[in-house]
Chain A
Amino acid sequence: MTEAIADLGRAMRAAPALFRVAFADVVAYRAEMAIWVLSATMPLIMLAMWNAVAAEGPVAGFGQTEIARYFAATLVVRQLTGAWILWQLNYLIRHGGLSPLLLRPMSPLLYEAASMLSAMPFRIVILMPFLGLLVAWRPELWATPSLPSLALFAVSVSLAWMLSFLVQALFGMASFWLDQSLGLFGVWFAAWGLFSGYVAPTALFPEGVQPVLYWLPFRGMLGLPVEILGGFLDWRAALPEVGIQLGWVVVIGVIVRYTWKRGVIRYGAHGA
């Protein structure tokens, strides 16, 4: 535990330099990053489908305006929770690129986390024109969240990012033992897509299924911050759910830390 705190302390001191380096990296590959951001078209595709469904009248309280607002918020949160540590780890472990990173006086995971966070401002800048167009086209989409809601959104979206990062890191670490970590993640991703609120708001699921979705980790990775931002969930009602989110971050964080230690030992044993 004390070791973890020391590690974090070192990371904090190194943070400004880390962010500078990582941001320069993002700027160097700006076109690549822009394509990456534009690739997240799924919310718009789902918006088209549910929009057609709601054309005959609202479903479970979601009319066409609510549907559009929900998926616009999804577009934003998806960008804010973006991580690619899975592919990074998978590559580093297979090609031995992890070795030099292990020599640094801080965990490679923290280093990668900083690099992913520093891409965030850039992602938002690219997203802005699209959101602008969307609101210009349908001004009724805009719902200004209250100040407490906005604050809770900030907390919830940070936790959602951490969850995405940690889960991806866990699947990435599977590469220490398995060849098929990307395929395994594909299954997780399919479940995530279905249950996180990515393809449909939780409220549109059959009522018997909804309580289960609240306890699974998927909703905390996307749907919860989306509903807070879009004004579908009052901040008071959202508080317990943010607690569940925090719980998942702690649980998966502990598993990640344990697995990482075992994995690095295993990696060393290969003589890489």
Chain B
Amino acid sequence: MRAPRALVVPAALIRTSLSAAIQYRSDFVFEGLTGLLRTAATAATLGLVYWHRTEVAGWTLPEALLVMALFLVMSSLVEAVLEPNLGAVVEAIRNGSLDLLLMKPADAQLLVSASRVAPARLWDAVAGLALGGWAVAQLPTAPAPVDWVVAAVLFACGMVAIYGLWLLAICTSFWFVRVDNLRFLLISVSDAGRWPLAVFSDWVRVVLVVVVPVGVVTSFPAMALRGTWSPTVALVAIGVAVAFAVGSRIAWLRALAAYTSASS
């Protein structure tokens, strides 16, 4: 029996992009070492903050560390999966090689979103998970199973929303040619996700949930694990995820309709 088509294409994409990336083995080891040092520097910043206080905006060190761990996992996934593709699409639109991709018998959005991965970037996720595990162990009360489930759902919702945001950025390159820098802007604004939402002022908090939804990926699951989530939080997360998924899909279809290839 043949596997359904919906699974064959993503599996093939992952296989080919992995085998392309695996050619650079020394890069993989090197990235691991440098990633470790970068993680240490990031965690040290938090150490410095909590050297002065035991609690900031109602968050203790382990709780804030949890947010930072989730941030590391998120940014690692973004850099491994989303960022290489954005660069590739922008280039393909500019020189017209997107034509070839559009002729393939699979959904172009899927091809565009998953044709490249940088597995070496996943080291930060490993470091993030280790850091997060340690932080959870330091919490005064261990999270209940339901908290874990909620945290996982919230994280997934946030990642869907982040993916939508990146796809929207890709869509803009159909109209504006040089948007390579947009990825630096996205990454640097996402940096705000490394702190708990509580440290920001009200309107910044709204922006970090609804416009650049990093708060949904990092702070929301951390709230679940420390047991301070509410049904409202879950609803907001699901709403944001759906809005970004649908909105970016519509934008993508419109962008494709407006695509005129490089030669015409």
Contacts and interface: CB of A to CB of B under 8 A. Distances in A.
B38 interface: yes
Interface string B19-37: 0000000010011001001
A200 B184 contact: no
Contact of A183 (B30, B41, B181): B30
A13 B178 CA distance: 34
B198 A39 contact: no
Contacts of B180: 32
Contacts of A194: 41, 44-45
Nearest to B59: A52
Contacts of A40: 188
A38 B185 contact: yes
Contacts of A237: none
The prevalent SS among residues of B at the interface is helix
Contact of B48 (A29, A187, A200): A200
B41 A193 contact: yes
Given A41-B191, A59-B52, A48 B45 contact: no
Nearest to A42: B191
Contact of B198 (A36, A42, A52, A199): A52
Contacts of B110: none
Contacts of A200: 45, 48-49
A49 B181 contact: no
Nearest to A29: B178
B56 interface: yes
Most buried by B among A45, A48, A59, A60: A45
Contact of A45 (B44, B185, B194, B198): B194
Contacts of A250: none
A183 B31 contact: yes
Contacts of B56: 49, 52-53
B34 A53 contact: no
Contact of B34 (A51, A56, A186, A193): A186
A119 to B, nearest CB: 13
Given A41-B191, A48-B200, A51-B199, A205 B48 contact: yes
A124 to B, nearest CB: 19
Nearest to B193: A45
Contacts of B199: 48-49, 51-52
A191 interface: yes
A45 B212 CA distance: 14
A48 B204 contact: yes
Nearest to A199: B45
A190 interface: yes
B87 to A, nearest CB: 13
Contacts of B31: 183
B188 A41 contact: yes
Interface of B: 27, 30-31, 34, 37-38, 40-42, 44-45, 48-49, 51-53, 56-57, 176, 178-182, 184-185, 187-189, 191-192, 194-195, 198-201, 204
> 7 smallest A-B Cβ distances: which pairs?
A190-B41, A52-B199, A35-B181, A39-B188, A190-B38, A52-B57, A39-B184
Interface of A: 29, 31-32, 35-36, 38-42, 45, 48-53, 55-56, 59-60, 179-180, 183-184, 186-187, 190-191, 193-194, 199-200, 204-206
30 contacts: A31-B176, A31-B178, A35-B181, A35-B184, A35-B185, A36-B181, A36-B184, A38-B185, A39-B185, A39-B188, A41-B191, A48-B192, A48-B201, A48-B204, A49-B49, A49-B56, A53-B49, A53-B52, A53-B56, A55-B57, A59-B53, A179-B27, A180-B27, A180-B30, A190-B42, A191-B37, A193-B41, A199-B45, A204-B52, A206-B51
Given A50-B49, A204-B52, 19 more contacts: A32-B181, A39-B184, A40-B188, A42-B188, A42-B191, A48-B204, A49-B195, A51-B199, A53-B52, A56-B53, A180-B27, A183-B30, A187-B34, A187-B37, A190-B38, A190-B42, A191-B37, A194-B45, A199-B48
